[in-house]
Chains A and B, each alone.
Chain A
């Protein structure tokens, strides 16, 4: 069997802020339908790398390709319109609008009016937030906001989903639901998850990329990562011992 064409690649991606190199010559590749977790200690460059992928930052050098197309330096909305769903670290929502309206507007970008309505209702149910539909999202708890944002990300049915710390601030039950949602999404789309929460990672992770000091430190199956001494030293430390 031949290698599948990757949906997302970066070549020698570099992002510098003044004298600091936050992302240092990263070669990354993601296959269609793959679920990939990005791990790494604070300041490892995960989020900067993520922001380069989403167009929120313009990389200093290197290229990013989506389905073979060079998207380096594109505006966020243009990248999104190629079929990418993005969830940011701090939930970005239309605070003054209802949860339903937030999700409907996400669906409306890709669907006609009646379809968008249907799709929004479907997403509310799938994410278990139907009871929040009419609530103003600015007034919701952090974990609830995370779920609303996830629903807005998934509503247009993107082919590539980028999630930055989706489990942050969630209760155990919300986290479990999120894990199921991510696994289900991964059946139809490629998914990249940046996450700290080890309990969450263990539920969803397969092939995993570990960042350290702006570069890729290891890429391996999560089981091997967890037992990798060097990885434990840079990052996992006690958390890994507890999880194991």
Chain B
């Protein structure tokens, strides 16, 4: 737990895998595979937004989709109006982060209990979803961008090279940029978690009273953590919009919020690598199940989820880690026999 970051083998392994995929991916995959894997990368960025605030800040949010959707729409509207994507991309982080800070301010300074926090975050998501669904008329436009209600916004610009609005990224390049974002995000979050700020977050997760008794301002700290998570979710939303070149109200759906929870739980609360692995495995699984047309996709995924919660309540990665530790502890004794 207290081994320093640069001595943690898992940290370097994850970075190595990320960089290897970044370099080799576009060379070995075909276009369809690249598109598919880019989707996993975007959703991995999204899941990290929750894995960080829940696993390392003790904040359980049922409304990450609110920030995801806000980021997606922010990016779409801003890039359509500005004709380039660099500043809109930054805005896709900044605006949801600000909104997260404001929402967090009312929740944490209002000392809401965890249950009510869950309700509030969920209701905020629903409000966004309802609201954006009712913007179908032509009067609902921000500059050149018509919000389009339940039809969504078509032809969201593809990411361009900063400063060159005409230089669109091809799918291979977009994958590489997104992969780089994921790797950097992973490094930033791990560094943040290992810092004194991150240690205080862990302390607040363990015992808010003690954190306050040590002189740490729990409310302010939680607002900051929540806002960082909101910003990351928003950035993922922006990535989602430009990846699909399309955005509709489903980015605000409860399903989107639930998926972040499911991936984090399946991968293991309190890890970052676990939820990323869960995204890849569960998304791949639901793709394959969808192709088979045998049983309802959600039905099978729900079943898998129940089995996971019952059999590996700690989540995939922590369970694996415990098993490895147990195996290591048992091996010498076995050799003696």
Residue of B nearest to A87 (CB): B213
Which listed residue (A81, A93, A109) contacts B207, Cβ 8 A? Answer: A93
Seen from chain B, the residues whose Cβ lies within 8 Å of a Cβ on chain A are: 1-2, 196, 199-200, 202-203, 205-207, 209-218
Which listed residue (A56, A86, A98, A152) contacts B1, Cβ 8 A? Answer: A98
Task: Report how many residues on chain A are interfacial, defined by Cβ distance under 8 Å.
Answer: 28
The answer, yes or no, to whether A198 is at the interface (CB within 8 Å) is no
Interface pick from A72-80, A199-207, A235-243: A72-80
Q: Which of A96-143 contact B (CB under 8 A)?
A: 96-98, 100-101, 105-106, 108-110, 113
Q: Which residues of B contact A97 (CB under 8 A)?
A: 1, 202-203, 206
The answer, yes or no, to whether A63 is at the interface (CB within 8 Å) is no
Return A83 CB to nearest CB of chain B, in Å. 9
| Pairs across A and B, CB under 8 Å, 12 listed | A77-B212, A77-B214, A77-B217, A86-B213, A88-B209, A93-B207, A94-B203, A96-B202, A97-B203, A101-B1, A101-B2, A152-B214
Residue of A nearest to B210 (CB): A92
Q: Which residues of A contact B211 (CB under 8 A)?
A: 77, 94
Which listed residue (B206, B209, B216, B217) contacts A96, Cβ 8 A? Answer: B206
Residue of B nearest to A79 (CB): B215
Residue of A nearest to B220 (CB): A77
- A sample of 8 more A-B contacts (CB under 8 A), given A96-B202, A96-B206, A105-B199, is A76-B209, A77-B214, A77-B216, A80-B214, A94-B210, A94-B211, A95-B206, A153-B213
Q: Which residues of B contact A101 (CB under 8 A)?
A: 1-2, 199
Interchain CA distance A113-B199 in the complex, whole Å: 13
Interchain CA distance A76-B217 in the complex, whole Å: 9
Which listed residue (B2, B203, B205, B212) contacts A80, Cβ 8 A? Answer: B212
Interchain CA distance A60-B196 in the complex, whole Å: 37
Return B152 CB to nearest CB of chain A, in Å. 43
Given A93-B207, A96-B206, A101-B2, A80-B213 contact (CB < 8 Å): yes
Q: Which residues of B contact A92 (CB under 8 A)?
A: 207, 209-210, 213
A94–B202 contact, CB under 8 A?
yes
Query: Could you say which of B203, B214, B218 has the most chain A C-beta atoms within 10 Å of its C-beta?
Result: B214
Which listed residue (B196, B200, B206, B213) contacts A88, Cβ 8 A? Answer: B213
The answer, yes or no, to whether A209 is at the interface (CB within 8 Å) is no
Residue of B nearest to A82 (CB): B215
Query: Could you say which of A54, A88, A95, A106 has the most chain B C-beta atoms within 10 Å of its C-beta?
Result: A106
Query: Could you say which of B199, B200, B202, B213 has the most chain A C-beta atoms within 10 Å of its C-beta?
Result: B213
Which listed residue (B2, B199, B206, B218) contacts A77, Cβ 8 A? Answer: B218
Given A97-B202, A101-B2, A109-B210 contact (CB < 8 Å): no
Q: Which residues of B contact A78 (CB under 8 A)?
A: 217
Residue of B nearest to A80 (CB): B215
Q: Which residues of B contact A96 (CB under 8 A)?
A: 202, 205-206
Given A98-B2, A105-B200, A93-B218 contact (CB < 8 Å): no
Q: Which residues of B contact A54 (CB under 8 A)?
A: 213
Q: Which residues of B contact A76 (CB under 8 A)?
A: 209, 212-213
A108–B215 contact, CB under 8 A?
no
Q: Mark A32-74, 1 if CB is under 8 A from B, else 0.
A: 0000000000000000000000101000000000000000000
A75–B217 contact, CB under 8 A?
yes
Given A98-B1, A98-B2, A101-B2, A81-B215 contact (CB < 8 Å): yes
Return B204 CB to nearest CB of chain A, in Å. 9
Interchain CA distance A86-B212 in the complex, whole Å: 10
Which listed residue (A56, A77, A100) contacts B215, Cβ 8 A? Answer: A77
Interchain CA distance A156-B213 in the complex, whole Å: 12
